[in-house]
Amino acid sequence: MTTRATPTGTALLALIGPMIWAAHFFAVYLVEAVLCSPAVSANSAVHVAGVGLTIGALVALLSVRRISKQGAWTAFARPLIDLSIVAVVLTAIPFVMIASCASSGA
């Protein structure tokens, strides 16, 4: 994305969108698993942490989308960032719909 990056580095930067999605996904899962575990039981913190992580991920994704310039790899990077934004938002929707640490009741 920067003109100084090596071709390999640029190609890897094209994957930044899904990488941020992956970091967000595993972070929210980890936070939920730890905060809802019997050892911690910090139910009230789950939503705050989840929403915070989601805002962080979205800010990161929108930032890299904005700074990515036109070039051969933008063709891959931009749509990947857009898909990642959708996936991050989808992942975060449960935070506003489901009570913290509630059992699934399955």
Partner 1 sequence: MIETEKLRADADTIERDRRALERIWKPPSGWRILSAVNNTIVGYYYIGAAFLFFLLAGILGLLIRAQLAVPSNSFLSPDTYNQIFTMHGTVMMFLFAVPAVEAMGILMLPQMLGARDLPFPRLGAFAFWAYFIGGLIFFSTLFFDLAPSGGWTMYPPLTSAQHSPDIGADFWLLGIGFIEISAIAGAIEIIVGVLRTRAPGMSLDKMPMFAWTMLIFAAMIVFAFPAVILATIMLELERALGWPFFMTAKGGDSLLWQHLFWFFGHPEVYIIFLPAAGMVSMIVATMARTPLVAHNLIVVALIATGFFSFGLWVHHMFTTGLPALSLSFFSAASMAVAIPSGIQMFAWIATIASGRMRLATPALFVLGFLFIFTIGGLTGVMVAMVPFDWQAHDTYFVVAHLHYVLIGGMVFPLFAAFYYWAPAFSRRPLSEVLGRWAFGLMFVGVNVTFLPMHVLGLMGMPRRIYTYPEVAPWATINLIVTIGAFMIAVGVAVVLYDFLRNLRPTLTKPAGDVWNAGTLEWLPNELYGSRSIPRIATAYPLWDQPTLKAEVEAAQWYLPNAPTGTRETIITSPVEAEPQYLQRLSGPGWSPLAAAVFTAAFFMLLTVKYYTIALTCGVLAIALILVWSWGNDPEPLGDVDIGRGVVVPSYASGPVSHAWWAVVIFMLVAGSLYLAYVFSYLYIWTVAPQGWPTAAHARAEPLRPALAAGLLILAAGSITAASRVLGRSSSGFSALVLVGVSALSAALAIEIAGHWNSGLRPDASAYGALVYLASLLQFEIVAAVVIIGLYVIARSLAGRMNAERRVTFEVLMLLSYYAIGQGLLGLALVHGFPRAVS
Q: Binding to partner 1 by residue 93, rule CB under 8 A? A: yes
Q: Which is nearer to partner 1, 59 or 86 (CB)?
A: 86
- Interface region with partner 1, contact rule CB under 8 A, candidates 53-61, 63-71, 97-105: 97-105
| CA atoms in the 13 A half-sphere facing the CB of 23 | 15
| Residues 13 and 1: beta-carbon distance below 8 Å | yes
Rule CB under 8 A: say whether 97 interacts with partner 1: yes
Q: Which residues bind partner 1 (CB under 8 A)?
A: 7-8, 10-11, 15, 18-19, 21-22, 25, 28-29, 32-34, 36-39, 46, 72, 75-76, 79-80, 83-84, 86-87, 90-91, 93-95, 97-106
